[in-house]
Amino acid sequence: MERTQLDKIKRRLGIDVNDTLEDDLLSDLVEDAKSYFLGLANASSVDDKYNYIIENVVYKMYQRKGSEAIKSENVDGYSVTYEDWDDYFKPYLKIIDRDFGDNGTYREKGKVMFY
């Protein structure tokens, strides 16, 4: 992962960019988000223009750390419902479908030859 991407994620999460305690965890989350994205897009790499998707998913995953197996929790009247993996990418599915053709709308450019 690029240092600038890690720094951007840390700033958004309120972590000092010089604090390295969470670097391994954040790198793992980025790797997991990229792997899931590649599976959704049926692609072999993540183009830089999709980094914002990976970063936004990492923010959601980081906020959920420690509660990964819990669907919802209720503590003293405070209720939280967590998203599933598929829901992390739900806001971006139209973009993924448009750019990678997972919904059948993608058309490859080609040519027709008549003999």
Sign of CA dihedral 104, 87, 23, 51: positive
Higher pLDDT, 48 or 75: 48
Residue type, 6: L
Following DSSP, what letter does each residue of 80-95 receive, concatenated? EEPPPHHHHHGGGHHH
Arithmetic mean of pLDDT, 57-85: 81
Arithmetic mean of pLDDT, 42-56: 93
Angle CA 2–4–10, to nearest 5: 110
Give the mean pLDDT of the chain: 84
pTM attached to this predicted model: 0.75
Position 31 scores a pLDDT of: 96
Highest mean pLDDT among 9-23, 64-78, 79-93: 9-23
CA 25/CA 20 separation, integer angstroms: 10
Residue 113 binned pLDDT confidence (cut-offs 50, 70, 90): low
